[in-house]
Structure 1
Amino acid sequence: MKLNVVVALCALFTLTQQASSGEKCTCDVHNTEKEFPHSKLKTMENNVTDCNNQITSQKVLELESLLLGLELRLDQLKEDVSVLEKEDDGQLYGVLSLYVIENEMVEINQLIDKLNGTTLRHQLLTADSFHQLEELRIEMQELEEFDTMQVVRGRFDNRRLKNDLNLCRIGLNTTAAPLQLKYGTCPLGHVQNITGPRVYTQGEYPGSYYYGAWGRDPKPLAGKESWYWLVMLTSSNAYSHYVRLYSGLSALIIGVSVPGNVQIHPSNPTTNTIQGPNVVLYGGVLYYNCFNEYSICHFNLTSKRITKLQLPKGTRYNSKGNFCHLETCYPYTDLDLATDESGVWVIYTTNQDFGNLVLSKVEDEPLRLGQTWHTSVYKQSVTNTFMACGILYATRYVSKNLEEIFYSFDTTTGKENFNVGIFMNKMAANVLSLNYSPVDRMLHAYCDTHMVSYKVLFELLGNEFP
């Protein structure tokens, strides 16, 4: 072993020993290897950082969202033209239908213009990035010549093996045979995975409103099946007095609001206006935390009538029972409204439950609280919740890029699971609202002005999306 070390050192250095007539002895060491170009490595690191800053997942998702919106809008246009061809009476009906189609064509043209502009920017970015990457590749090959001991190569091989092992473990976990169980009237089972994001947009007010909620009505009124809704907290990141409606996903992406706002009250905030971002729309009715009360407001978008449902005495409100993580709490998230296949739910906490989550079913006609469940998960350890197939799910903050669905509560069996272990890739650090849509089985998130949606996979459906 010592001989090998000596031989290796001799390969790198030339030793010259000099001895004088006295007792002193000197030894000159001459390095035969080329000097390592540290400045060149530093320049490469800066170039890599610049490249990473230019190419982000937001840019990719922006293009995907525009393409998805255009695809949906074209399908809708085709359907409307087909109806016109079949039912045109040549008079009033035909004129109205043509007017609708004309409006849709305007929206499609706006979407195409935005798509063309985005595509051109991406093409220029791709060409520039390709040139930079080619230069980096050549420079890296030159630097590899300095790795004479194969240290970097060995680390690279080890990292690759670890990645392969992790992918193998993930594959084993995601392909496990699903349990053939049914939960009440919903045969989908538990959520198995969340994939995406599938849709990403900042809408028509990019960077303006950090708190809000958006989604689709799980029980839409006739003619509004493709509509989307958006609530932005326009006052102090805490209050709002209207809901904004969009005729489709493409309209929301490009920021064309038709029919526009439905106003709850001219003032903001005031009695019966929205407090906090946890809002849902179900059956043409907006459910939200009433301003300065521990009550649910039931606002009918058609009649503009407001009905209130007071929660149990001791319910925490006015930012005393918020969602939180180690770095911050989300103000005015005391009441979280949620929807799934069976209707509307409310998630909250009370003094009697010592801050643990409480789940209640919201019944309509008349508006009242139905069955209530008490959990053992502390609300301030949770960042958000949603309902799917009669099961409550809770998330927690992992990092600015990752959120984890860590907890579930099955309302049919009463069983809790603290080890769900489903991770969500985020487009921004804070998930301020989550709404599950059983219409398309998508999970809609509002994250620091970003509107993002994810595909929800259930265990009894595998990876299929009907």
Structure 2
Amino acid sequence: MFPRGLSIAVRMAVISLIFAVFLVSASTLLSAEVEHQYREVHGVLENGNRCVCKMQFSEWEFPVERFEQLQDLSQNCTKSLEERKSEMLDAHLNVKNLQQYDKQNLLFMKGHLKKMKNQLESFSVYGNLHIGNCSGGILRNISEPVLAQVNPYGTSYHYGGWGMDSMPGSPRHYWVMALLSSNIYGNVVRTYNSYKDFLTAKSNIDISVKTSYTTANAIQGPGVVVYNNSLYYNCYNSGQMCRFNIATKGITNVVLPNAGYNNKFPYCYYDCYGHTDMDFSVDENGIWVIYATENNYGNIVLSKIDSISLAVLQTWKTKLFKKAVTNAFVVCGVLYATRYVSNTEEEIFYMYDTITNQEAKNLNIRFVKYSPNVANIHYNPVDRKLYIFNGGYMIAYELLFY
């Protein structure tokens, strides 16, 4: 290995130098391995058994451009958050100023938001589900009055009912019934053979139901309706239903089982409406009676009745206390109830679907009225209008559905 003639000392020095170089090389390789231990280098076989490795050092370099982009994004986000924070503080100050200096607008906004909330809740409960048994669906809104005039007896007669015959296919005869004795009793129904006669208050026919206000089968309370030329009402001083045939003058009376009467369960939300224990209503399915019973704890009971015999065909019990509403009516098998909002505004707030047994108390459908007193509300399936006897005024409205 070494040339001849070299001394042992020289040879030992050379060996020491080679060993030192080996240690330095090994140390350098180990350091590089540690530094790049997370780097992966993939090789491929070329020209037989020769392994070729391509190393892209650019991938290991610090991503300066990307870092600058992230730094800019962070700064922009921080700026945006600061702007949103500033907007929220401004809104907070605006609300405080409204509360302190402009309470009227604040209350208006509160009412508006409440109305929107109720409408959204109604949508969340029902969505596009089919309500009732008509194609119209759930009641959405009520128009401004399309007809309004004082009843023929004068505004001092606050209790009664009016409308058009509710039987599909019947002649479009109009009728008015006002309670002429103590706002409780009546015995006459006034009829008109045409809409023109009704508007002009001409050619009316007064038909006596009984000769006396306070006698058996006389009219008690304003919850009346005309269907197929017959007047339906609560018989005087009893828990009976009466049907008066306007053509023949014949009367049919039948007890309504367990129904309260004589002001046991009247409508009573804002002010009690005397002798409204029984309330008759008509829809596309026929005639109904709305009342309350002790067995249902004074809550509203709705019964479908036979239009001729007055026999109860089917009954539904709701959880709505009858004295907690102003009035009620039926549309497409759905019971709707109203409550007082102000002297000039009423609200339909409740519905009960007899098809699905679903109920809701957040409809929030408001309409204009002329007086605090709402004595009679009923729907007519012939023209799809709502008829109201309101403080002596006769008012009609269009109904809008979803």
- Normalised to the residue count of structure 1, the TM-score between the two structures is 0.60
Q: What per-residue deviation string (whole Å, max 9, x for no partner) do you get for residues 229-252 of structure 1?
A: 110001111111121112333433
Match of residue 253 from structure 1: 199
Between the aligned partners of 1:192 and 1:322, the Cα distance in structure 2 is: 27
Q: Structure 1 residues 368 and 398 mapped into 2: Cα distance closer, same or farther (>3 Å)?
A: same
Whether 1:279 and 2:191 are equivalent positions in the alignment is no
Match of residue 4 from structure 2: none
SS at 2:281's partner residue?
A: strand
Match of residue 334 from structure 1: 277
> CA-atom RMSD, angstroms?
3.1
SS at 1:236's partner residue?
A: coil
CA offset at residue 430 of structure 1? 1.1
Match of residue 434 from structure 1: 377
Aligned residue identity for 2:221: G
Q: Structure 1 residues 181 and 278 mapped into 2: Cα distance closer, same or farther (>3 Å)?
A: same
CA offset at residue 310 of structure 1? 0.8
Which residue, 293, 296, 315 being the options, matches 1:372? 315
Whether 1:230 and 2:176 are equivalent positions in the alignment is yes
CA offset at residue 198 of structure 1? 1.5
SS at 1:386's partner residue?
A: strand
Whether 1:394 and 2:337 are equivalent positions in the alignment is yes
**Structure with greater proportional helix content:** 1
CA offset at residue 365 of structure 1? 4.4
Whether 1:239 and 2:185 are equivalent positions in the alignment is yes
SS at 2:374's partner residue?
A: coil
SS at 1:197's partner residue?
A: coil
CA offset at residue 445 of structure 1? 0.6
Uncovered stretches (5+) of structure 1, i.e. residues with no partner: 1-150, 460-466
Aligned residue identity for 1:356: N
SS at 1:279's partner residue?
A: strand
Aligned residue identity for 1:262: I
Between the aligned partners of 1:321 and 1:290, the Cα distance in structure 2 is: 16
Between the aligned partners of 1:358 and 1:166, the Cα distance in structure 2 is: 33
Q: Structure 1 residues 234 and 397 mapped into 2: Cα distance closer, same or farther (>3 Å)?
A: same
Q: What per-residue deviation string (whole Å, max 9, x for no partner) do you get for residues 246-265 of structure 1?
A: 2333433332243x112111
Aligned residue identity for 2:151: G
Give the greater-gyration-radius structure (CA).
2
8 A contact 1:203–1:254 mirrored in 2: no
Q: Structure 1 residues 221 and 235 mapped into 2: Cα distance closer, same or farther (>3 Å)?
A: farther
Q: Structure 1 residues 275 and 179 mapped into 2: Cα distance closer, same or farther (>3 Å)?
A: same
Between the aligned partners of 2:132 and 2:275, the Cα distance in structure 1 is: 33
Between the aligned partners of 1:393 and 1:406, the Cα distance in structure 2 is: 8
Match of residue 364 from structure 2: 421
CA offset at residue 180 of structure 1? 4.2
Q: What per-residue deviation string (whole Å, max 9, x for no partner) do you get for residues 107-162 of structure 1?
A: xxxxxxxxxxxxxxxxxxxxxxxxxxxxxxxxxxxxxxxxxxxx9xxx89x959x7
Between the aligned partners of 1:379 and 1:171, the Cα distance in structure 2 is: 25
SS at 2:323's partner residue?
A: helix
Match of residue 141 from structure 2: 193
Whether 1:290 and 2:238 are equivalent positions in the alignment is no
Q: Structure 1 residues 170 and 250 mapped into 2: Cα distance closer, same or farther (>3 Å)?
A: farther
1:97-176 superposed matches below 5 A: 159=105, 166=112
8 A contact 1:190–1:389 mirrored in 2: no
Uncovered stretches (5+) of structure 2, i.e. residues with no partner: 1-96
* Percent of residue pairs bearing the same amino acid type: 40
SS at 1:329's partner residue?
A: coil
CA offset at residue 205 of structure 1? 2.6
Aligned residue identity for 1:196: E
Whether 1:208 and 2:152 are equivalent positions in the alignment is no
1:32-51 superposed matches below 5 A: none
8 A contact 2:243–2:251 mirrored in 1: yes
Which residue, 309, 318, 326 being the options, matches 2:262? 318
SS at 2:199's partner residue?
A: helix
Aligned residue identity for 2:187: H
Q: What per-residue deviation string (whole Å, max 9, x for no partner) do you get for residues 89-121 of structure 1?
A: xxxxxxxxxxxxxxxxxxxxxxxxxxxxxxxxx
Q: Structure 1 residues 230 and 272 mapped into 2: Cα distance closer, same or farther (>3 Å)?
A: same
Match of residue 299 from structure 1: 244
Between the aligned partners of 2:331 and 2:296, the Cα distance in structure 1 is: 24
Whether 1:449 and 2:392 are equivalent positions in the alignment is yes
Between the aligned partners of 1:369 and 1:392, the Cα distance in structure 2 is: 17
Q: What per-residue deviation string (whole Å, max 9, x for no partner) do you get for residues 49-81 of structure 1?
A: xxxxxxxxxxxxxxxxxxxxxxxxxxxxxxxxx
Aligned residue identity for 1:264: V
Aligned residue identity for 2:336: Y
CA offset at residue 406 of structure 1? 0.8
Q: What per-residue deviation string (whole Å, max 9, x for no partner) do you get for residues 198-254 of structure 1?
A: 1110033322311000111121665x22x2111000111111112111233343333
Aligned residue identity for 1:298: R
Which has the higher mean CA deviation after the structures are superposed, 191-200 or 180-189?
180-189
SS at 2:144's partner residue?
A: strand
Aligned residue identity for 1:446: F
SS at 1:407's partner residue?
A: strand
SS at 2:202's partner residue?
A: coil
CA offset at residue 196 of structure 1? 1.0
Between the aligned partners of 1:302 and 1:385, the Cα distance in structure 2 is: 28
